[in-house]
Each structure stands twice: as structure tokens, then as C-alpha cells.
A and B are shown apart, each in its own frame.
Chain A
Amino acid sequence: MNKYLLSMTLTSLLLLPAISQAETAADNYKTYCMQCHGMQGNGMGANIQDMSVQPRDHTDAKTMSGRTDAELFKVIKEGGLAINKSALMPPWDSTFTDNEIHDLVKYLRKLCKCKHAG
């Protein structure tokens, strides 16, 4: 039993740095997404004045419910071109872990107050 406890403690200590590096979806959204998708999440970010394609309005339930969670995951991870959308949306795979992207997808669902309609 003591050995089991010891190994559990050691394992959790080893995992701790990895866990502590994960950021919350709110912090990630604020730092990386907001610059284009806007402080209100409405696609009106500070960067958009010269963009040929406007960033997605994440509060638009009608459009957002047309996307599956898998599509949202893919476009965050691999960028707009991966789902035949604009290259102005870059791939974020080097910035977020898969778990952080899953959290961001949940965060987007809160912003749009919607689910995939399919």
C-alpha cells in the first residue's frame, strides 16, 4: 500500500509541470483569438480593417451551429485552409495542446450559446 501511495505521489509530481502549463480557454481566447475575433467575440477584432475576409462571428448562433465540434477543432488546429476557408486564420497547433483546443471548442459553444444543429 505504501509503495502504491509512493508511486502515485511520484507520478503526480512528474505530471505536475505538464498540467500547470495548460492554460484556460478564456485566457487562450483572450490572448490569441481576440486580436481578430474581437473583445466581444463578434468577429470585430482590432486587426480586421484591411482583411479581405471578416473573421467568424462567434456569437452568431445560426452560423456556428452549422459547424460540428470536429470542424471547429480542425480549423483551430490546422487553420482556415484546412476547411477551405481563408488563410488569414492561421494554424494554432504549435500554440495549443489538443486538450486546450477541445476546451476552446467548448468555450466557442458558450459564446454562441449553440450546439451543432446536425
Chain B
Amino acid sequence: MKHLILLSFLAVVISPALASAGEDGGKILRAQCASCHDLKGPAPQTIRELWKRDAPDLFYAGNKFRREWLVQWLQKPIRIRPAGVNYLRNINSTPPSNQNTKKTGRKYDVLWGSVTKPLKHVKLSRAKAEAVADALMGLKPHYSLVAGVKLDASKKVSLDQGEVLIDKVYGCLSCHFIEPGYGGYTGSELYTAGKRLQPEFMLSYIKRPKNWDPKIWMPNGNVKPDDLQKIVNYLILLSKEDFNASN
């Protein structure tokens, strides 16, 4: 019995370390992800190429994501961009009858189609998610874009100060949610960015999105260096909020 307890204890302790053992993340990527995600690059160079994109480019995933977030997300995938990765496919200027436009009287373009339903995406087991995350973290062709980029944690801001930068100063709120359901639809949600993304990636991407994705609809906001640091510190602070508790 003692042996059994000891073995069980060891299994619990050791299993996370061995979680990805035996799984070939690269093979899973090629077999299950490559049909929708670009694993090789380069990013679309023209608008018409951009319109063909079905899923986020992953060829620089290792420069972009935090591994622990990938492992979690791959086991329980949920939508990050409210209007989808290619928003032009998912908006409609004629509100369907089930959309409540009476509240404001405004008939603005609405989300339509697949983005109004839960995200359909492959779900992986813990072991496979670990292996795929490892494979993704190995994809780092854009090292030069983050070389020398460093977060300055001393440029702290409060949540309120950060929101002023995001809303009033740089207008990011136009296209991004800063809490569930609040903000614009065509960008990725910002309230999880700090958990999802590497700080160096956020600094580099916000400074010049076109370096990463030449035709993306996010403009270069000409963010001042100090404000750039403050915004990324804000996004990290924001991602620690428990939005499930407040909703």
C-alpha cells in the first residue's frame, strides 16, 4: 500500500514534466494546423492575399506567444478576435431581425455568420498541447524585430491611466475590447493580451504593426516611446483582472 501511494505521488509529480513525452508537436502542427494556419510565412503582401487568410499566421508564434498561454488555449480554444481573423467576411450592414438595434436606434454594421457562434477549433489533450506549444515556440524567424526590445517595468500606470492612453490618446478602443463586450470588434481582445503575448512582441508590434503583418488593418499609432512602455505595462496589469468575477 505504501508503494502504491508513493507511486501515485510520483506519477502526479512527474507527469507534468512528461506530459508531452511521446507526442511530436511538429507532426501535429503539419497534420492538423497547416491547412488553416500559415506556418511558413511570409505574411500577406497585398490586400487580396490578406483577404484569403483563414486563421492567424503562426509562422512567428515563437516570437509572439507566451508558452503557458498556448498550452491552456490549445486545450480550451475560445475566440480572441470578436469579428474573426478576417472581419470582412463576418460583418453585415443589414442587421438581422434578432439583433437588438432598438436600444440605441442605430443601425450599424453587425457581426454575422460564424463569429456569432462559439469558435470551432481543434481541441488538444494536455500532452499534445504541450508538444504543439513547444513546436510553436520554436518558430522564431522575426528575432530581429524584438532584438534589443525590452519592457521597462518602471513605467507603471494605473488601470485608469492606461485606459486614458488606450481610449483618449491613441484611440485603440476603436477596434479593440478592453473588457468583454466593451470596445471595437475588428482587433484582438486587449484584456487577455498580457497573458497571451510576450512583452517584447507587444512593444514591437504596437510600435510598427506592418513590420509583422504588412497589410493588417491596425495602423501605426505613432506611439511615443514612454507611452509605448506604459501601454504594455497597462496591458499586463489589465490581464490580471478577473473579468469573469465582475460579469
Q: Report the separation of the CA atoms of residues A34 and B209 in the bound assembly, to the nearest whole angstrom.
A: 19
- A46 to B169, Cβ gap below 8 A? no
- B171 to A27, Cβ gap below 8 A? no
- A45 to B171, Cβ gap below 8 A? no
CB within 8 Å for A86 and B171 given contacts A21-B46, A38-B108, A39-B109 = yes
- A90 to B171, Cβ gap below 8 A? yes
The digit string for B153-168, where 1 denotes a CB below 8 A from any CB of A, is 0000000000000011
For residue A48, CB closer than 8 A to chain B, the reply is yes
- The total of chain A residues at the interface (CB under 8 A) is 34
Q: Report the separation of the CA atoms of residues A32 and B130 in the bound assembly, to the nearest whole angstrom.
A: 37
Nearest residue, chain B, Cβ from A28 = B47
Is the interface on chain B under 10, 10 to 19, 20 to 34, or 35 or more residues? 35 or more
The count of A-to-B residue pairs whose CB atoms sit within 8 angstroms is 100
Give the chain A neighbours of B222 by CB distance below 8 A: 91
Q: In the complex, what's the smallest C-beta–C-beta distance from A67 to chain B, in angstroms?
A: 20
Nearest residue, chain B, Cβ from A24 = B47
Give the chain A neighbours of B104 by CB distance below 8 A: 49
Q: In the complex, what's the smallest C-beta–C-beta distance from B27 to chain A, in angstroms?
A: 35
Give the chain A neighbours of B175 by CB distance below 8 A: 35-36, 47
Give the chain A neighbours of B208 by CB distance below 8 A: 94
Residue in B45, B47, B168, B170 whose beta carbon sits within 8 Å of that of A31 in the complex: B47
Nearest residue, chain B, Cβ from A36 = B174
Q: Report the separation of the CA atoms of residues A34 and B45 in the bound assembly, to the nearest whole angstrom.
A: 20
Q: In the complex, what's the smallest C-beta–C-beta distance from B112 to chain A, in angstroms?
A: 9
- A90 to B184, Cβ gap below 8 A? no
Q: Report the separation of the CA atoms of residues A98 and B92 in the bound assembly, to the nearest whole angstrom.
A: 30
- A93 to B220, Cβ gap below 8 A? yes
Q: Which of A43-60 contact B (CB under 8 A)?
A: 44-52
Q: In the complex, what's the smallest C-beta–C-beta distance from B227 to chain A, in angstroms?
A: 12
Give the chain A neighbours of B108 by CB distance below 8 A: 38, 44-46, 48-49
For residue B40, CB closer than 8 A to chain A, the reply is no
Q: In the complex, what's the smallest C-beta–C-beta distance from A102 to chain B, in angstroms?
A: 18
CB within 8 Å for A47 and B47 given contacts A92-B219, A93-B220, A94-B210 = no
For residue A113, CB closer than 8 A to chain B, the reply is no
Give the chain B neighbours of A34 by CB distance below 8 A: 88, 109
Give the chain A neighbours of B220 by CB distance below 8 A: 91, 93-95
Residue in A44, A51, A93 whose beta carbon sits within 8 Å of that of B93 in the complex: A44
5 A-B residue pairs with Cβ-Cβ distance under 8 Å, sorted by A, are A44-B108, A44-B109, A46-B91, A50-B184, A90-B219
Having A38-B93, A94-B210, one finds 8 other A-B pairs with CB under 8 Å, namely A46-B186, A47-B184, A48-B108, A48-B184, A49-B104, A90-B170, A90-B171, A91-B219
